[in-house]
Amino acid sequence: MESKERGKGQRVILMASPFQGHITPLLQLAHILYTNAFSITILHTIFNSPNTSSYPHFTFLPLIASLSDYEASNLDAVRLTELINIRCVNPLKECFHLLLSQDKEDDRVACFISDAALYFTQDVCDHFGIRRFVLRTGGPSSFLVFASFPLLKQKGYFPLQESRLEEPVVDLPPLKVKDLPVFQSQEPEAFYKLVCRFVDECKRSSGVIWNTFEEFESSALAKLRQDFSIPMYPIGPFHKYLLPSSTSTSLLTPDKSCISWLDKQEPNSVVYVSFGSIVAISEAEFLEIAWGLADSNQPFLWAIRPGVIRGSEWLEPLPSGFLENLGGRGYIVKWAPQEQVLKHPSVGAFWTHNGWNSTLESVCEGVPMICMPSFGDQKINAKYVSDVWKVGVQLQNKLETGEIEKAIRKLMLGDEANEIRENIMNLKEKANLCLKEGGSSYSFLDCLVSEILSLKSSTSVCLKSH
Ligand code: UDX
């Protein structure tokens, strides 16, 4: 049978964690499976529900999990994830009852794929006899660190101590204590507990799907294969599969006017600045960034998400006349069409918070990074970008205009800039090759499809008993 038809008659149910950096790769994965002829059902919370109109060929089912508006707008991402793990148990069971009751010879539930953070889904799947695969939206290199949390705690690294920040973490080279993940949650232990729980439930799953490629993170993947006795499927980069141009995974509307501004800039000259969908910065940091960009003399495109500056709606802290005084050298949008921006020949550097999607998108387009990580996996990603893959520089010390100018210059001019550019162009080429027939991601996707299909009989048997 033609490989693209293999999933015919089989349905994959997927559920995302309701945050942009998690929704995007899950929808992309769903589309990859759809192009292998699987039918797709997406389960989602009402909070941050995906843009269903972009995917008329998917079935969307909301889980009514009674998160109040107050909770949705006041709890941090870790606390919200905790609540979802508690409150979605019964709605997910109801959904499974419904979906399994609709099971037909030519439309069978083949498996369930959930975001790693939704660890509650493993027990529910076990209850219904549905096999669960995990989508981990971060990379394997950072996941290895998450999997070491109990060891790190036992060795006294947590909570992180100011006086130890420059110490190496001997079990996890090349990390220093300052590179370990933190999350300032409203409940101090919540992040640690969430991570330990989702790592444990990954181990009970049928396999982990990664938005990365073997050649990029081979040593982390090798270690995970050694430590976890389940298959690992590095089938990324997801966004480089052929997706229809009409599909959008964005929760906010991208401002495409920046593309015609980019068209007018010199090749490789523009610094693109964006800190993703969750990071927030102080007003003082915002102003340092603004003056750093102004003093750098490089053109810049800055995606300033409303709410990114703590305590402000949008641009109120920006000094009046700031952009006008730069004579067209700077351009600001609320939300950029990031993939398109990174592909643009005028873009020469990406000043990023190193969320995994942004990091991978930058690598795939060969755009060197200025790293300013904030929480979660971002510090680990940034360390790998600067010290392992050597495709960017980290902003060291305090965020101030002199430092910023220095980093921009280092990345865009001089010997080190050439070396960094060469490294990232190498990775870009590997990212392209891995998706071609015979490439690593192509082959792992083939294995994943085979594995999902090999599970169908066991699931079908269980369907009958519910
Ligand atoms: C979060 C975490 O912060 C991150 O560390 C984790 O790896 C995934 O979840 P987020 O902060 O949003 O994600 O960052 P990132 O993973 O980079 O995802 C942001 C996505 O939004 C990217 O796909 C990026 O292309 C898109 N984006 C961002 C835009 O399309 N336009 C913008 O202006 C900014």
| Residue 100 pLDDT level (bands cut at 50, 70, 90) | very high
| Residue 185 pLDDT level (bands cut at 50, 70, 90) | confident
Statement to judge: residues 48 and 121 lie in one domain: yes
Q: What pairs with residue 352 in β-bridges?
A: 274, 371
Dist. CA 363 → ligand 1 center (Å): 14
Statement to judge: residues 67 and 173 lie in one domain: yes
Mutate to test the pocket of ligand 1, among 356, 363, 365 (most ligand atoms within 8 A of CB): 356
Statement to judge: residues 190 and 44 lie in one domain: yes
CATH of the domain at 367: 3.40.50.2000
Statement to judge: residues 442 and 343 lie in one domain: no
Statement to judge: residues 318 and 220 lie in one domain: no
Mean local confidence (pLDDT), 106-122: 97
Q: For residue 188, tell me if it sits in a domain.
A: yes
Sign of the CA dihedral running 247, 250, 253, 258: negative
Q: Among 46-50, 89-93, 108-112, 213-217, name the one with the lowest average pLDDT.
A: 46-50
Dist. CA 307 → ligand 1 center (Å): 15
Q: Among 48-52, 96-100, 152-156, 259-263, name the one with the lowest average pLDDT.
A: 48-52
Using CB atoms within 10 Å of the CB of residue 104, give its burial: 0 to 12 exposed, 13 to 18 middle, 19+ buried.
Answer: exposed
Q: Among 50-54, 110-114, 134-138, 210-214, name the one with the lowest average pLDDT.
A: 50-54
Q: For residue 156, tell me if it sits in a domain.
A: yes
Counting every residue written for the chain, the total comes to 466
Dist. CA 274 → ligand 1 center (Å): 9
Atom number in ligand 1 closest to CA 336: 33
Atom number in ligand 1 closest to CA 342: 25
Statement to judge: residues 125 and 217 lie in one domain: yes
Residue 301, domain extent:
257-432
Mean local confidence (pLDDT), 94-100: 96
Statement to judge: residues 124 and 97 lie in one domain: yes
Residue percentage of the chain with pLDDT more than 70: 96
Statement to judge: residues 174 and 293 lie in one domain: no
- Is pLDDT at 363 greater than 70 in this prediction? yes
Mean local confidence (pLDDT), 147-167: 94
Q: Among 143-152, 159-168, 377-386, 422-431, name the one with the lowest average pLDDT.
A: 159-168
**How many structural domains are present in the chain?**
2
pLDDT tens sequence across 231-290: 999 999 999 997 766 667 777 899 999 999 999 999 999 999 999 999 999 999 999 999
Dist. CA 76 → ligand 1 center (Å): 16
Statement to judge: residues 110 and 18 lie in one domain: yes
Spatial contact of 206 and 455, defined as CB atoms under 8 Å apart: yes
Dist. CA 388 → ligand 1 center (Å): 22
Specify the residue with its C-alpha closest to ligand 1, atom 25: 338
- Is pLDDT at 228 greater than 80 in this prediction? yes
Task: Give pLDDT, residue 4.
Answer: 73
Q: For residue 283, tell me if it sits in a domain.
A: yes
Q: Which amino acid is it at 397?
A: N
Task: Give pLDDT, residue 465.
Answer: 36
Q: For residue 249, tell me if it sits in a domain.
A: no
- Is pLDDT at 298 greater than 90 in this prediction? yes
- Is pLDDT at 400 greater than 50 in this prediction? yes
Q: What are phi and psi of 300, to 5 degrees?
A: -140, 145
* Residue bearing tokens 């695969």: 133
> Is the model more confident about 120 or about 2?
120
Q: For residue 409, tell me if it sits in a domain.
A: yes
Ligand 1 site residues, Cβ closer than 6 angstroms: 19-22, 24, 137-138, 250, 254, 274, 276-279, 303, 335-336, 338-339, 355-358, 361, 376-378
Statement to judge: residues 412 and 444 lie in one domain: no
| Residue 399 pLDDT level (bands cut at 50, 70, 90) | confident
- Rounded to an integer, what distance in angstroms lies between the CA atom of residue 163 and that of residue 259? 45
- Is pLDDT at 215 greater than 70 in this prediction? yes
Mean local confidence (pLDDT), 5-21: 93
Statement to judge: residues 342 and 235 lie in one domain: no
Dist. CA 254 → ligand 1 center (Å): 13
Q: For residue 349, tell me if it sits in a domain.
A: yes
- Is pLDDT at 462 greater than 80 in this prediction? no
Task: Give pLDDT, residue 459.
Answer: 43
Q: What are phi and psi of 12, to 5 degrees?
A: -110, 130
Atom number in ligand 1 closest to CA 139: 7
Statement to judge: residues 27 and 84 lie in one domain: yes
Atom number in ligand 1 closest to CA 354: 17
Task: Give pLDDT, residue 455.
Answer: 66
Task: Give pLDDT, residue 54.
Answer: 87
Dist. CA 110 → ligand 1 center (Å): 30
Specify the residue with its C-alpha closest to ligand 1, atom 30: 338
- Is pLDDT at 466 greater than 50 in this prediction? no
- Rounded to an integer, what distance in angstroms lies between the CA atom of residue 166 and that of residue 175? 10
pLDDT tens sequence across 317-340: 999 999 999 999 999 999 999 999
Q: For residue 4, tell me if it sits in a domain.
A: no
Mutate to test the pocket of ligand 1, among 250, 256, 338 (most ligand atoms within 8 A of CB): 338
Q: For residue 2, tell me if it sits in a domain.
A: no
- Is pLDDT at 456 greater than 70 in this prediction? no
- Is pLDDT at 29 greater than 70 in this prediction? yes
Specify the residue with its C-alpha closest to ligand 1, atom 29: 338
- Is pLDDT at 397 greater than 70 in this prediction? no
Specify the residue with its C-alpha closest to ligand 1, atom 9: 21
Spatial contact of 246 and 54, defined as CB atoms under 8 Å apart: yes
HEC readout, the chain: CCHHHCCCCEEEEEECCCCHHHHHHHHHHHHHHHCCCCEEEEEEECCCCCCHHHCCCCEEEEECCCCCHHHHHHCCHHHHHHHHHHHCHHHHHHHHHHHHHCCECCEEEEEEEEECCCCCHHHHHHHHCCCEEEEECCCHHHHHHHHCHHHHHHCCCCCCCHHHCCCECCCCCCCEHHHCCCCCCCCCCHHHHHHHHHHHHHHCCCCEEECCCCCCCHHHHHHHHHHCCCCEEECCCHHHCCCCCCCCCCCCCCCCHHHHHHHCCCCCCEEEEECCCCCCECHHHHHHHHHHHHHHCCCEEEECCCCCECCCCCCCCCCCCCCHHHCCCEEEECCCCHHHHHHCCCEEEEEECCCHHHHHHHHHHCCCEEECCCCCCHHHHHHHHHHHCCCEEECCCCCCHHHHHHHHHHHHCHHHHHHHHHHHHHHHHHHHHCCCCCCHHHHHHHHHHHHHHHCHHHHHHHHHCC
- Is pLDDT at 447 greater than 50 in this prediction? yes
- pTM score, two decimals? 0.95
